[in-house]
Amino acid sequence: MNELLVALDVDTIDEARHLANSLRGWVGGFKIGSRLFTANGPAFVEELVARGDRVFLDLKFHDIPNTVAGAVAAATRLGVWMVNVHAGGGLDMMKAARQAADEEAVRTSSAPPMVIAVTVLTSFSQEGLARTGIDSAIPDHVRRLALLAQEAGLDGVVASPQEIGLIREACDARFAIVTPGIRSAGDAMGDQNRTASAAGALAAGASHLVVGRPIIAAADPRAAAQALAESCGK
């Protein structure tokens, strides 16, 4: 299932390698987030890239434009397929990320990664967002950030399943929507608040689905990935 990106949110390279080896060929790529990257650095990212895997480096850069530009350039040198920043960092920061990816790709004669922006984390409820000082309704805030990311020249955004439709209406048809918060009936919600099924998210217009615990915590991760794909008619 090409749209499915599995989050390798584990502590060790051995665990991550075992999961990747069991899932390779059944999924569209792997997400490396702050847990695995902080514990082990870029070595496993480079290993997956060398194997030809699509790697989504999910470190959610959010800093001054110059610092984010340097981080995105470094990610580009790693050969990742996708990297993200926080849209809340603003227009100038996102433009710097885009420029850094493109310039580093030219310098290294490589393809630039997709650069996408996180809108509002799926763990946020309306009350939680308000406590950060943002009074807008979540859908309105997500729409505003998605349009800002598009203006900055980014390739897409990360958004919950509940905001896919409004982003599809507001942004260019080629704008990618990467959707976490995928849960099936009976799955524990955990710390996720805004969720949907995989089939529902794809039907709404998601470009890629990021799934972690429902697959990697399963007794048989590959069977779980296959079952999710079958639920989507894949």
Q: List residues with catalytic annotation.
A: 60
* Helices 91-107/65-78 angle, 10° precision: 30
Residue ranges of the alpha helices (H) in 108-137? 126-130
Three-state SS at 33: strand
Amino acid symbol at 95: K
Q: What residues pair up with 6 in beta bridges, in sequence order?
A: 30, 211
Are 16 and 45 contacting, i.e. CB atoms less than 8 angstroms apart? no
The DSSP code for 135 is -
Burial class of residue 167 in the structure, from the number of CB atoms within 10 Å of its CB (0-12 exposed, 13-18 middle, 19+ buried): buried
